[in-house]
């Protein structure tokens, strides 16, 4: 599902980014650039501002200074939102709905048609076979996380911004997510990740906050 991204023009450029919370300066003069097939590991201690950087990057929060450009154009733009998927700390799934309903409604909200077979296939890939018709409420924390991660397969996005995506996942799921990211990069996608664990994805740039 990740195939077919253009290898030519997609590019993320960040320069001189600064952000503060109240009086405290979290980070300043952060800059990096990502080309198709590259990924960035955002590193830093607790409270260093990794999540803030992610939120500024996707456009949920404002930076004090700096510039984020996507395909040469300033963000946030409609084009950027179409090319982006952001998975943060939140579960971002509805507890009263089943994993299948969650996936299909999330796709419909994004204006993407998703048939049941494709939704089911992505849930199976995430190891949720037989759980697709249970309310998410009864699933474990790791399984809820897997429901959210299934969106990576159903939403055709070029830039994956994953904040602590490896939390609550078991060994198998960590390996699986590593594979998914590697496949995505192989197809010309890009990823920005934060994690305290060593990531099971080869290569990658790093930014230290």
Partner 1 sequence: MNPLLATVRRDLLLALRRKSEVLTAVFFFVIVTSLFPLGIGPEPTLLKKIAPGILWVAALLATLLGLPRLFAADHLDGTLEQMALSPSPLGLLVAGKILAHWLLCGLPLVLLAPVLGLQFDLDPSALGILTLALLLGTPLLSLIGAIGAALTLGVRGGGVLLALLVLPLYIPALIFGAGAVEAHIAGLDVGGHLSLLAAMLVLAAFFAPWATTAALRIALE
Footprint on this chain of partner 1 (rule: CB under 8 A): 58-62, 78, 81-82, 84, 86, 88-97, 101, 105-106, 108-113, 135
Q: Which of 70, 48, 52, 50 is nearest to 62 (CA)?
A: 52
Q: Return the number of the residue (37 or 76) whose C-beta is nearest partner 1.
A: 76
Least distance in angstroms from the C-beta of 121 to partner 1: 20
Q: Return the number of the residue (61 or 174) whose C-beta is nearest partner 1.
A: 61
At 60, list the tokens. 């949920």
Q: Return the number of the residue (58 or 123) whose C-beta is nearest partner 1.
A: 58
State phi, psi for 163 to the nearest 5 degrees.
-95, 115
Over the range 47-63, which residues count as b (16 or more CB within 10 Å of their CB) and which as e? Answer: ebbbbbbbbbbbbeeeb
Q: Return the number of the residue (140 or 175) whose C-beta is nearest partner 1.
A: 140
**Dihedral angle over CA of 52, 179, 152, 115, nearest 10:** -170
Q: Return the number of the residue (14 or 57) whose C-beta is nearest partner 1.
A: 57
Least distance in angstroms from the C-beta of 135 to partner 1: 8
Helices (H), 27-115: 50-58, 78-83, 99-109
Least distance in angstroms from the C-beta of 55 to partner 1: 8
Work out the burial of residue 117: count CB atoms within 10 Å of its CB; fewer than 13 is exposed, 13-18 middle, 19 or more buried.
exposed
Say how far apart CA 51 and CA 79 lie, in whole Å.
23
């Amino acid at each position: 599902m990740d195939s077919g991204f253009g290898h030519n023009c997609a590019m993320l450029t960040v320069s001189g980014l600064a952000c503060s919370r109240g009086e405290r300066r979290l980070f300043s003069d952060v800059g990096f650039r990502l080309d198709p097939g590259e990924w960035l590991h955002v590193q830093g201690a607790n409270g260093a501002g990794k999540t803030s950087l992610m939120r500024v990057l996707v456009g949920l929060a404002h930076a004090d200074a700096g510039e984020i450009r996507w395909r040469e154009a300033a963000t946030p733009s409609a084009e950027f939102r179409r090319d982006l998927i952001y998975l943060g700390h939140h579960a971002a799934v509805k507890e009263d709905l089943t994993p299948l309903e969650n996936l299909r409604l999330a796709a419909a909200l994004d204006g993407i048609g998703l048939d049941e077979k494709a939704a089911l296939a992505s849930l199976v890939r995430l190891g949720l076979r037989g759980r697709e018709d249970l309310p998410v409420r009864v699933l474990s924390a790791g399984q809820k996380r897997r429901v959210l991660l299934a969106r990576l397969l159903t939403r055709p996005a070029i830039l994956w911004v994953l904040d602590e995506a490896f939390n609550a996942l078991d060994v198998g799921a960590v390996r699986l997510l590593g594979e998914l990211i590697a496949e995505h990069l192989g197809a010309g996608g890009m990823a920005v990740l934060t994690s305290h664990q060593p990531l099971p994805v080869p290569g990658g740039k790093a930014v230290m906050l």
